[in-house]
Structure 1
Amino acid sequence: MKYVLIPILFLLMTQRPPISAQERADVDSLIMVLKQLPDSCKLKSLYDLTYQNLRNNTCIIYSNLLLEEADRQHNTYYKGSAYFLSAMYYYAKNADSMRIFMHEAEPLLLSENRIEEICRMRGWNIYTYTRDGQKEKVIPAVDDLKAFAKKYNFPDGEDMANQALADYYLGEGLSDEGVELYEEVLHSMERRNIPLIKQINIIRQLLRNNIDIQRQIYYLDKINGYIEDYKKKGIEYLDSEQPLFLLEYFYHQSYAYIAIRLKDSTLAHTHLSKAEAIMKEKNLVNEERIIEQLKLLYYELIGKYDLAIDMVDRLAAHYENMKMIDTVLELLYTKADLYYKSNRGMEAAALFRTLYERKDSVRKAVFYENLAKLKAQHDVDELELKTKQMELEASTFHSQRLLMGSGLIFMVLICCLLIYIAYSRHRHGLQLKAAKEKAEEADRLKSAFLANMNHEIRTPLNAIVGFSQIIADEEDANVRHELSSIIQSNNDLLQRLVEDVLDISKIESDAITFVFAEQDMRALVKDIYNIILLRMPEGVELRLGDCPPLVFYTDRNRLIQILANLLTNAIKHTEKGYIYFGYEVKEGEVIFSVEDTGEGIPEDQLANIFSRFVKLTEWTKGVGLGLSITKALVEKMHGHIEVMSEVGIGSTFKVIFPLEKY
């Protein structure tokens, strides 16, 4: 049976709603603080004020105001603090911007011996390497941070480095190594009597990973000891921001889940009731789904399948609204299993059929894209086979009940069952035939692809080999230089071909990864403009549109690749006039445009322009994969691409993305 995965969550900081008037009031308060601060002030109150507003733009306003005050007073302490706060703000938004402020802040902080803040920034930098997939930079950065912390005798810095390394291990699937490293950090903190809130944060990281149940119970008992100790002392907050009741809620919620795994219904009920009571008393609305998931598992454990099914329906409705289709399908699978356990075989079979149809509709488009998706088709066939088995078992069970009432009805049911089995086999045969035809078509496409690749690779390779032989015997320096340029040009062409084929392979095998984050679009298109400007031919002007301010949630590198491919394509086909690009925002969408005054695309070729190895003429530069890759990337990022062109006038490509997050 498939279970809905229940994550062990603990929100130490509650979500803040958008603020407008409150932000202004906070900024006014900051200005008053700045006017009264002496030069020797350590700015702890300012850091606290800024950290509380990290999720909205007030944070960057604080750092800018502080930087202005630092310039006015010529105060390096304030300036280092301002750069540190800016790095803190950009840590979750733009890693490149964060590193710029780190570079500015480090010498100022080091001059004031502010080692902790430097270590924090370096730790953030390691996390961004892991988050952005820059694996080769993680280990050197960890070693640098450890060496820096040892040099300045700051053990907390070594703990920060080990935490970042543990996070990297877990991201790479090295669970045992990651958990072991987190435990080393925890023991180090305990030996040095580090503030309890930092130790609890490490315990939370351990509980979020797949450690065995006994170790989970051990760490939860430690948390319970902390809770009881704080209650005896009358302490209601772990620190200035985090109330004790959140830790208590986390303890009971986690213990309830463990008790369910241990099949201890009494213990599960005790902790589940306490967690639900805290949730309702403290109005923890974000935790309602977690409690409902725990109730689902608890009702299933004690055999109250009707109540469990009711929980499934409530959760499915919630995740359906959130468009979390995979989770909804898992819940439907759980519901069908609950039907079967409660002797409602026909309803289980019907639901399995519905589940199959929904899964098939979600994955249907992917099945037909390439040969790699045949495995997914195999999974669907297995699901269908299981559905048939459930239907057969349900029909058999129903027939046995009816046998006691009437022999005639029994015979009719047997006949119907035989007809149904014959029909099912016939339909299964048709499906196997269709699968065979798909495989044959995929094999044909593979052969055609290899033939195209053979031709495209041989073209530059022949030029490289031929001119390499000629250049050795050529005495004229100018001719040798020209031959060298031809060889280099074909080298570049061959390299682009290999890179494009690798991108196509990753896209079709669904192995390509995306790293989504909020990006400043005006800065991004300005960077692209500066890069493409260097490649513009004489007689062609590159124009950048008047782009409105926009923070867009996207994959920076893939968006740059898309726009660069379109601009490169425009350069190939434009000998005079201009190339324009930019973006605009309309009706919940951002529209990127690339317009040129080049040769244009004939109407009869517009339908095939995004196919592989398509070029307007045999003399067109490139291998004809750029637009195919661009279209595939756009669709993977939930957008679509349009093209309009007129021969002799030019072409316009538009890439359209929804502004909502996926």
Structure 2
Amino acid sequence: MPGNKYILILCTFFIGCFPLHVLAEKDKDVALQEYSALCRKSISLPQAPQMCDTLADMARKANNNDVEIYAAAIKLECYYFKNDEQQIINQVEVVKKLCRAYQNYYYYYFVWGNRLITFYIKQNKINIALYEIKKMLQEAQADNYQPGIAECFRSFAVIYLSQSAFGLAMEYYQKEIDVYEKAGIDYLNLPVEYSTLAQCAIELNLPDKAAEAIEKGREHIRKNDPYQTFVIKKANLLLCLYRKDFAKAEEEYAAIEKLFKENTRLDNFTGDLYDTRLSYYKATGQRDKAMSLLHFLENEACYNCTAYLANSLKKQKADLYMENREYRLAAQEYRAYIEGKDTLNTKSLQNSVSEFNTILEVELLQKEKNILQMAVQKKQLYVTYLIIGFLVVLLVTGWIVCLRIYRLNSRLKKSESDLRVAKESAEQASKMKTEFIRNMSHEIRTPLNSIVGFSQVLNTHFSADEETREFANIISQNTFSLLRLVDDVLEISALDQNNTLVYDVSENINNACYQSMEQAAYSVPEGVQLEFTPTHPELIIKTNSVRVAQVLTKLLHNAAKFTKRGKITLNYKIEDKNIIYSVTDTGIGISEDKQEVVFERFVKVDSFTQGTGLGLPLCRIIANGLGGSLTLDKTYKDGCRFLLTLPFVPC
């Protein structure tokens, strides 16, 4: 059902919220049990962390390890629902340390997966989440702890769910459930997992699979657990709406509303309730109620906690306006949604690169630390051997010295082998980064192409409405800009991996120039002349016209962007066994202090001009890969002149 994915994504951020209370309920100390319940009820209060510290002191005095872990976990809950990243990281380490000390593997992996990794996913820090999952899976396999492995599968499922990959999400949820059921583990949150599995099946148009999951989840609901009851009823409500069984859906909806009114333990899940209401209103045609609820949710903390969820409201509002035929309002909301999505996609792509680089830097620093430690050890070993060798020369015979030297050489060879393995590992990590960026670019291209198509439909359908066509053109222009950004990032990533380009194709020297002039012509403003006169009309050379045209086109686009009058000229000359292409404009020029900075990545001379700061760095990388260079002519003062110098290889 359209829009249900927002409910599903929001739900994943709260999965696994209730099993912690079981620790306290098992305790026979009435005072500890009562104070534990009080801490749980006060989780949203400012004094909750101090109350948890008091509970931990009481547990230590009573020598009760389970309640001490419970107190630390509840304190983590306080920070988790406030999205306090640093406190979450610190408190997760506290809980993990306690669990290791007391051999409590269940909550060790619970806080790692359900809290830390889920938090990173909620903040769209996918790379860091994947890095944590990798570490968690390695520890779980080393511990041979099946619930820990299952928790890794759940974390993978949540990541796929956040990317709307419902098929893969359903596959990993099923793997998680299979681990628990095959191992005969009584997992507390099975109803929640079955509920999410059912909702994925609904998104994939598999109602029978969804119904089967709901029935299995209902069998595992624990007594007096309102949250588990709620998630199963919610999944059944969505299934009824999918099957258009509105009578049954109305019964389930009324039961959910009653459940929330009667159970204060569900107060932390009002965001999930709001999304359930919204889905019900939209499916039953109650558009006014749905619109009122959307206006209300714009100010709700559960939606403002992430920019993605906040932006999704704009899309849902626009859809409702379209259904009500309020096209002007719909266009405004679609425009706001697309602008927000463009911003999120750009930020997400930049964050992905930054996060991946951070992870690589951490691993490289660790390797450098190991290398330094090895160097210190070798130095100490060397000094030791010198002393031993001197004593051996005095006390024993020369053959012992030879034996020591032989052993030293063996260790040095082993060290060289370890360094070689470390280098190969770093290169593999770099390849993984490139592959990840390529996959992310593909995932971004698909919705962008849909947006372009939709904007063209709007342009055609509302051809008589000038304002609507203007909005559609804005959508297309911004979408193409984002596509160029994706292409530039992918191109730079590929060239970083392999910067050696072919330069041996026989072709007319003017072909690349004509191609770039044709591609750049549409971007030249009115009143600006675009000129090119071939110096050698029939000269055949060894070249790479595709890459040369790519650089020249970007330089011409760049000139057109900053030239409002005058002309833009493309020329070339052959000098000292080099071909020197020049792109000259009469635009605003670049100040002397920024003439070299513009070739750095993500640097823009004018922050108010459209662009991402990747064009010129990409051009320089391509020029270097072709065995040439790209520079700025500092002697030209009437605008800008870029010089592309490449080897001249005549046929």
TM-score where L is the length of structure 1? 0.44
TM-score where L is the length of structure 2? 0.45
